[in-house]
Structure 1
């Protein structure tokens, strides 16, 4: 059978199996095993266990559970509430300062936790009721938090970037640095839209939350600065050549647990058990998807599907930006239905040779891909962050939350366009810190 036709069959059955309700990892294994048996015989199954476990034989994977523990320990405390309150006290005199505080808190908490749902939950519990009480439209209050939560998969340290680095054998350190300026760009675009939206609605006059003394402003900082210090310490150790990403993640996880215990009195063994239990569950889920995606990639390569697609794309007489536009549409649609980790592990091995052949930087492409995945987090039908916000504020309808998040989708699309026009936004910092790649 022609490999391209076979690839279309694989795509159809993969979508069918995943939509049947089977977990992503199990679905990938079912599809892989089925096509290998039909087109390569039963003997091909002998290699599946070796490939499955061999994919996990990677030292860099140790950083995933460590960063997850780091985020879980922070999410289990009042760190999000304190971060929100600190920014509110310092930005209270800024017009529309409360929405700026919320987006700033989302950005910082995302950097600390690396989790979009955790960011929405931690900041949203405090921020949404406060914004509604002070006159912000429900759509702005809910949409800004939903969008701000997506920053968790872009701003370093990001588990999504780690997964991309492993899937494409790309430097994780470079990927982390590549996410810094695009993350700040998105924060700036989000803030600009939120301030414009509140000004346009005529509610800016009721947004001030009062004034705070200098003492009140400074007394909250000791509860926030240690966590921020850990983030900068982890990044300094990584890029200062002191330790590897896995080692810095382990130290960061330990330090976050200790600070949570010391500052927030997280001494109860039951609370600590919840942190470790939830971290283990999420880590196992991600690692199982990584292992299953390895088998899926082997199946695609063994049946010459990956090679045929790359060769077919190479023969197309189209402008490379038209090609990139088509890839972005594909990623957007995939992100609407699948979690970011699954999309990256399934698509990156296929797309990497295509984008490198077309002359695109894989580090730059990682940022574009991640922003596409962010759009999926606040877009139906899955839109995980939309449901998290609805759980926090059930009296705000999903329709209103979606309406409030759509302008932020437009901000993300603008960010992708700016990255296409000025790729240095993503590539300058990695090249400046770690040297230009050949």
Structure 2
């Protein structure tokens, strides 16, 4: 029984991370085993004792050692072990270094770490991870399994600016980057994460509109997407269309040339042919000019970039709305997403004013609205009425009468019914607005 208890103590000491505790366990084990098991083999660790007072331990009685467990005063640290010594027969205080007793030496070793004063780190600056400088490095960080949270956060914050500064590199991986951002989830708390991800998506879409728009619109009707992701696709398409449709103007303020009156000394001239120049210069010097209004601004405009890509944003969204999927049914229980889709189409139609695809988009949108005119959700009906307003404002009046004259007459009749019978006040207001637009359209013709 004594040998079994000794072996448990040896295991406890050998598992310690402190070298002197391990050495002490080996020495005590050798001493105890040599006295307990006198006839059989004894433990031999073949360890060299460095401390001078440890040379007295093998000759001491086996009962003088007591290993006590003392809890550490510091939270989070493993419990420390202290050794209390009994009185060794025949041993004097001079046998130990400095004349101190072994109990005092052991307690001093234990208290050394507890007495350390913690370093003041309040003034230290936190080292932040550097953001990647290349698009492909961003992709590796966002898709990798590396648990570097600081680097991941820096990448999310810097991605939009990198995309806009490196359009050529972005076009090489635009679809892959759009896929990553669509599925990107927040690993750790990042302030404004949703907005940062959305702005990065808009930057990728405006940098390479056609392939990215094809990918996003195809994913809107795909399987295994949440309703939140589908609405994110609609939001990104609208924001990118707004950015592309607004002309990029760089205003330069031109200050008016205000000439101050001054005294001019005219040189003497004997030639009579210079009289006209002299008179003109004198009149010019005595003329006072006053600037009126604000400074004039010269603006350089660029073409509407949405003109060539409007169809890629619009037509894929309007094609498959009536095809229910296993987890997605626009005409069924997912009518809120249908309402968002209808409002998105209205915005895209409005932004397509003066574009080549506007007449075709207007005709398709009127047919789309006619199929859903009796929908029970007022939010969907409001979106349909907004679509009609966008068509009337964006498509030239002449093209409307040439291409969709019959559809306009049917729409006008339906608007009258909505104005009289629809229970929703906003729907009635939008119907009245559309009827006034139609009247103004007739007056222009």
Scaled by the length of structure 2, what TM-score is found? 0.22
Larger of the two Rg values belongs to structure: 2
Scaled by the length of structure 1, what TM-score is found? 0.22
Whichever structure has more helix as a proportion of its residues is 1
